[in-house]
Amino acid sequence: MGPRILACLALLLSVEFTLSQSATTKTTAATINPNLPVAYVYVSSSHYIHAYSAWADGKITSISGSPFPFAGIRKMSVTSKFLFGTDGTNLNTYSIHSNGSISKVSSIKPGMYQSSGCLQTGLGTQVDGSQTTLYYRACSDGFNTDRYLSFHIQSDGSLQFLGGSGGTFPSSTQGVQTDLTKMGGNVYAFDSYCDDDTDQGTIQSFKRQSNGNLIFYGTTQGMPAAAPGSAFCMGPVAADTSTHLAAAVFRIDSQPHDAGFIYGPSFLASYSADATGNLSTTSNVNNMPLLPVASNNGVTAISISPDNKYVAVGGGANGFQVLHFNGGNPPTKFSGALLAGHSIIKFGWDKAGHLYVLSAVYGPGTYTTYLSVFHVTSSSVQKVSGYPKYLANSSNVIVRTLQ
């Protein structure tokens, strides 16, 4: 069996399971009003949901009433009106008020729509770009279960069950739990995994139906071309607002006599989807950028900026880096490693050029979590002064963009 990401990081990431997105409104730098917040930022932890107003200079200030006493929320997603969070059993809806504060309005137990074979851990939620459908992954593993459940978001924030997706739960995988990510330019969504028994990388495709229900559509196993005698397997993927994926891949070479695998290093590829959802790539070992932050432990978080220009990639204990994202063409290098010594849990973006980074620093038998803010421009990636900000036992960050 191949080596794994450190158990403590894998556990934190698996319960958090990023299906990352942010609710956004269109804006440009010229139209930003510095007297109003550019976004609301929410950070969940073991005991609270912290809520902040984010400003044009990258500073954040606590919203009145924060932290809110909603404990154990592992994963969040947002629309312009509602925040959704799961604790592993319950899927909760919170109303976002005009000042960014939140209050609970409803709760359901989505596991009731799965079979008894579902190993229920509440691995994530994803709001469709229409902001009318919520996709939920209840099971980390299971027999005769659906990979995702679809819910219609009603006007009061309550959730109406639409159906299950089907899809595959591989018996054994390399790396962390992977994300569902929805393209903005078509009806297709994707997740990915590396099968530890076969060394085969797979991207699963799902298609949004006219009523919003997401159903399994097919698989892509075409990995970028590797050097002779080696192969690539699939890590996490992230979609842009058009028809492209950024995909972390890592070298995984079978050895004779069941002697294990060479795992790593990692690279960043890109894929394009055609009108029918079929994926293709021009990435290969000669044109993909190396991801030194992933080292030999793989990528733990990946996210594309709202303008599709940048992609942030994080690893375990080596911080993160930002690359230029070039659509269907291979990504290119941009920043060096940032937040060295931090394991990256989750990214979030606003439309004012800020990247929010939730990270953890591990010590003997313990860890501490932090929120940092970086300003990303065409020429640099700069940490905003005053960060990292310590936030105990945090597991997720989500951004509700205002301008």
Instruction: Give the model confidence (pLDDT) of 287-342 as tens digits.
Output: 999 999 998 778 999 999 999 999 999 998 899 999 999 999 999 999 999 999 99
Q: Is the pTM of this model over 0.85?
A: yes
Q: How many CB atoms lie within 10 A of CB 199?
A: 17
**Residue type, position 190, single letter:** F
Ranges of H-type helices in 290-387: none
Predicted local distance difference test score (pLDDT) of residue 4: 37
Instruction: Give the model confidence (pLDDT) of 132-162 as tens digits.
Output: 999 998 777 666 678 899 999 999 999 999 9
**Which of the 8 DSSP states describes residue 44?**
E
Predicted local distance difference test score (pLDDT) of residue 121: 64
Instruction: Give the model confidence (pLDDT) of 173-185 as tens digits.
Output: 776 667 799 999 9
- Six token digits for residue 60: 């954040």
Q: Average pLDDT for residues 338-358, to the nearest whole number?
A: 97
Q: Which stretch of 85-99, 109-123, 299-313, 360-374 has the lowest confidence by average pLDDT?
A: 109-123
CA dist 214 and 270 (Å) reads 23
Closest CA to 223 of 241, 196, 248, 240: 248
Query: At 369, is the pLDDT very low, low, confident or very high (cuts 50, 70, 90)?
Result: very high
Assigned CATH for 7-401: 2.130.10.10
CB neighbour list of residue 337: distance below 8 Å, 6 or more residues apart: 292, 293, 318, 319, 320, 321
Region label for 104, one of left (φ > 0), alpha (ψ between -120 and 50) or beta (otherwise): beta
- Six token digits for residue 18: 């990023």
Res. 120: pLDDT tops 50: yes
Tally DSSP H helices, then E strands, for the chain.
Answer: 1, 29
Strands 39-45 and 49-54, by their bridges, are: antiparallel
Structural domain spans, the chain: 7-401
Predicted local distance difference test score (pLDDT) of residue 256: 52
Q: What φ, ψ does residue 30 adopt, rounded to 5°? A: -70, -25
Res. 370: pLDDT tops 80: yes
Mean model confidence pLDDT for the chain: 88
Instruction: Give the model confidence (pLDDT) of 188-237 as tens digits.
Output: 999 998 887 788 889 999 999 999 999 999 999 999 999 988 889 999 99
Of 14 and 251, the structure prediction assigns the larger pLDDT to 251
**Residue type, position 19, single letter:** L
CA dist 94 and 130 (Å) reads 19
Closest CA to 355 of 341, 326, 328, 334: 334
Instruction: Give the model confidence (pLDDT) of 61-81 as tens digits.
Output: 999 999 999 999 988 999 999
Query: What CA–CA distances, in Å, run from 57 to 86, 106, 204, 372, 376?
Result: 31, 35, 39, 13, 12
Predicted local distance difference test score (pLDDT) of residue 384: 98
Strands 214-220 and 232-239, by their bridges, are: unpaired
